[in-house]
Structure 1
Amino acid sequence: MELLLLETFSWNLCMPTPAHFIDYYLQASVQEGDLYNGWPLSSLSKTKTFMDKYTHYFLEVSLQDHAFLSFRPSQVAAACVAASRICLQISPSWTTSLHLLTGY
């Protein structure tokens, strides 16, 4: 039985999920040059904490809809980061460093 499953998956047991990309993307999700409502961020650490919470919330929401399965896991993770930046009113909504990191 185990052999049948392994052959079904072509022995590929490690499938990346959006969660694999989230922590990597969060490292560049908030930077000192970012603005909140046009003003410099008052607390970088608090903003990073909120980004983490919002991004994981959007990740949970994406797991509840099968439509997200048609996208690459890295795209879903990038969308979670972008949605979090928009909800937190951080501008720009997508930075050059995020573009270079994600490729999107």
Structure 2
Amino acid sequence: MSEFMESIEYETGTTIQAFNIIEANKNAEGYEVLLDLDLDSGYALESVKLNITNEDFAAYETNDIQEVVKYALGFFANQEVKDKYNINDEDRAWEDDRL
């Protein structure tokens, strides 16, 4: 184990280009979701665990696990972008090249 335990503050890193839900398991608090992430830097993260609470579903006003994961990872399209590319809220624009 590393002896380096001091916390270092870093600048914001790379963005997430895409994600794939590998597995989602329901538990008492919400869901434990296993993801693969493709980063803008060219790297990929595999088998990343994300805990989504029942409160997250309520806050995002959806029952769709993919929608909640999308919002949790920061995939938001502002209204100007939606209007420019004629994107409806039901579209999965983050899965194509419009954004």
TM-score, with normalisation over the residues of structure 1? 0.27
Which of the two has greater strand per residue? 2
- In terms of fraction of residues, the more helix-rich structure is 1
User: TM-score if structure 2 supplies the norm length?
Assistant: 0.28
